[in-house]
Structure 1
Amino acid sequence: MKNELALKQRIAELESLLDYERQLSLQKDAHIAALEERWRLAQQKQFGKSAEGFVGQGELFNEVEEIVEAVKAEQQSANAPRKKPIRKPLPTDLPREQVIHDIEDKTCGCCGGELHKMGEDKSEKLEFIPAQIKVIEHIRPKYA
C-alpha cells in the first residue's frame, strides 16, 4: 500500500513536471514566432518594395472630406497677413552711451557737392557689465 501511494505521488509529480515543460515549450515557441515575425518585418522594410501596401490599407485614407478641409485651412492660413515682430524698446531710465558710425568724406562722388543728412538708422544693444548696465545706441547717418 505504501508503494502504491508513493508511486501515485511520483506519477503526480512527473505529470506536473511534464505540464510545466509543455507550458515552457509553448512560451518558447510563441517567443520564437514573435522574433521571426519581427525579423520578417524588418527584412520587408529594408529590402521590400517601398510602394507596396498592406491589405486593407486603402480603406484607412478614403476620407476625401478631411483632405479638402485641410487644404482649405492651409489656404486660409496662407492668406492671413503676417505682422512683423516688433521688439519692445529698452527702458529709458537706463544709462545710455551713443556710438556714432559716420563717414569721413561727406562730398558727393558725382558732383563734388556736400552730402546732406537725410535720416539715420538706430539700433540698441543691451550690454551687461557686472554691477552696471547701460544701453549703447549705434547711430548711422544716411547721406544722399
Structure 2
Amino acid sequence: MESDNGAKASAMIFSIAETAKANAINTYEYFNLLLSEIPKHQDDKDTKYLDALLPWSKNVQDKCPSRFKKSLIFNVHIYVSKSLHQCGDF
C-alpha cells in the first residue's frame, strides 16, 4: 500500500517536471513557485488561482524563464530545416 502511494506521488512530480520542460520554463524555479504559492491558498474554496500557476500561463513564463529557451527554439528550427532539406522539400 505504501509503495503505491509513493509511486503515485513520484508520477505526479515527474509529470509536473516534464510539463515544465515541455513549456521551456525553469523546472527548479517552477517547483519553488508552486511550493510557495499553493500553501497561501489552502483555505480557498475557489481554485481559479491555479490557472495562474499553469506552466503555459504568462505569470509562470515571466517568473520562471529558462536560460535555454532561446537556444531550444533555435535548435528545433535547425533540426526541422535540416530534415526538410534532406527530404528534398526545402
TM-score (norm 2): 0.31
Higher helix share: 2
TM-score (norm 1): 0.22
> Which has the higher relative contact order, 1 or 2, with Cα contacts under 8 A spaced 6 or more apart?
2
Work out which of the two has the higher radius of gyration on C-alpha atoms and give 1 or 2.
Answer: 1
